[in-house]
Amino acid sequence: MDIELARTFLEIVRSRSFVRAAERLNLSQTAVSARVRTLENHLGRPLFLRSKSGATLTPAGEQFLRYAPMFVQLWERARHQVAVPRGRRAVLAIGGELSLWHPWLLDWLHWMRRQAADVALRVQVDVPDSLARQVAEGVLDIAVMYAPQQRPGARIELLLEEQLVLVTTHEAPREAGSGDYVFVDWGPDFALHHGLNFPEAIDSGLFVGLGPLALSYILEAGGSGYFRRRAVASHLAEGRLHLVPGAPSFSYPIYAVCSARGDDGLIARALEGLRAVVHDSER
């Protein structure tokens, strides 16, 4: 199937209009309609219902929407793999959750540039569900995540058993639930155990979805919150932060989700780098 047919289909879904899709694709409405007819002929089912208010999906269109993004993503992956940049032997595609890119995966990028300079890298940041899906579909070789779910077409390897600890800028430590407590969203498992231990902290006036942002905030404004032990180690040593005595710590493991469709040698090299970065961070 011509990949442009899938692209056109997705653009109509996004814009909910053949007219707007034609404008965004820089095509005539006739060309867009012709592509949809060709796609419908391939599938043997109508995909859109057209009306004055726009275009809506038929039941067959809803089903095709489950697969169209995968067609486009796999094509992009194939294009990147075939069109390996000059001077490189292969392309490795890796993704990670936002809170893992700085500084941990940033250090990994430096490692790869030093130790595997002949490998071109394609990197992205995304949400967990999307990352896991792209690995299973072969769009990504590796996704570095906190709480992956097992899916067909992927294997999961533990990289690091991280700990979340409660720290504060106050020399007289304050527990979670105090007025300047910052709730950091470390995922559903953390929220569950946090709620069991600190039911009153749900009333915190500040919720932050990114650990590094929350840490920078309390270092500047003062306060307390749960953070990765390695991320706060230097601040604890300098006396800028203090551990809250008696506060529970929470396990926060980091995993590499690897595609069964990827190059085993490339993935092994990337995992070697990830583990090397972990080892260096533990010194």
Q: Considering the chain, what percentage of its residues have pLDDT values greater than 90?
A: 49
What DSSP line would sit under 46-71, residue for residue?
--EEEETTEEEE-HHHHHHHTTHHHH
Query: Are the beta carbons of 173 and 243 closer than 8 angstroms?
Result: yes
Query: Would you place residue 268 in the very low, low, confident or very high pLDDT band (cuts 50, 70, 90)?
Result: very high
Distance CA 207, CA 184 (A): 6
Q: What is the mean pLDDT of residues 42-64?
A: 91
pLDDT, tens digit, 9 for 90 and up, residues 165-186 = 999 998 876 555 567 889 998 8
Of 37-41, 147-151, 235-239, where does mean pLDDT reach its minimum?
147-151
What is the rounded average pLDDT for all residues in the chain? 87
User: Residue 187 is encoded by which pair of tokens?
Assistant: 């995922």
Q: Say what the pLDDT of residue 1 is.
A: 54
Q: Say what the pLDDT of residue 61 is.
A: 93
Q: Say what the pLDDT of residue 262 is.
A: 83
Q: Say what the pLDDT of residue 165 is.
A: 96
Topology of the domain covering 162-252: D-Maltodextrin-Binding Protein; domain 2 (3.40.190)
Q: Which residue intervals of the chain bear CATH 1.10.10.10? A: 3-66
Q: Can you name the residues that pair with 92 across neighbouring β-strands? A: 121
Nearest to 112 by CA among 141, 136, 145, 147: 141
Q: Say what the pLDDT of residue 87 is.
A: 85
Q: Say what the pLDDT of residue 234 is.
A: 92
Query: Are the beta carbons of 69 and 9 closer than 8 angstroms?
Result: no
Query: Would you place residue 80 in the very low, low, confident or very high pLDDT band (cuts 50, 70, 90)?
Result: low
Distance CA 228, CA 205 (A): 21
Nearest to 235 by CA among 254, 262, 206, 214: 214
Helix (H) or strand (E) holding 143: strand 142-145
Topology of the domain covering 89-159+254-281: D-Maltodextrin-Binding Protein; domain 2 (3.40.190)
pLDDT value at 76 more than 80: no
Q: How far from chain centre, in Å, is Cα 80?
A: 20
pLDDT value at 89 more than 80: yes
User: Residue 6 is encoded by which pair of tokens?
Assistant: 């899938």
Of 3-12, 44-53, 167-176, where does mean pLDDT reach its minimum?
167-176
pLDDT, tens digit, 9 for 90 and up, residues 203-212 = 667 899 888 8
What number of other Cβ atoms are within 10 A of residue 240's Cβ? 13
Q: Which residue intervals of the chain bear CATH 3.40.190.10? A: 89-159+254-281, 162-252
Q: Say what the pLDDT of residue 17 is.
A: 92
pLDDT, tens digit, 9 for 90 and up, residues 106-165 = 899 999 999 999 999 989 888 888 898 888 878 889 999 988 888 888 899 999 888 999
User: Could you tell me which CATH class the domain 3-66 is placed in?
Assistant: mainly alpha
- 81-109 burial, b if ≥16 CB within 10 A, otherwise e? beeeeeeeeebbbbbbbebbbeebbebbe
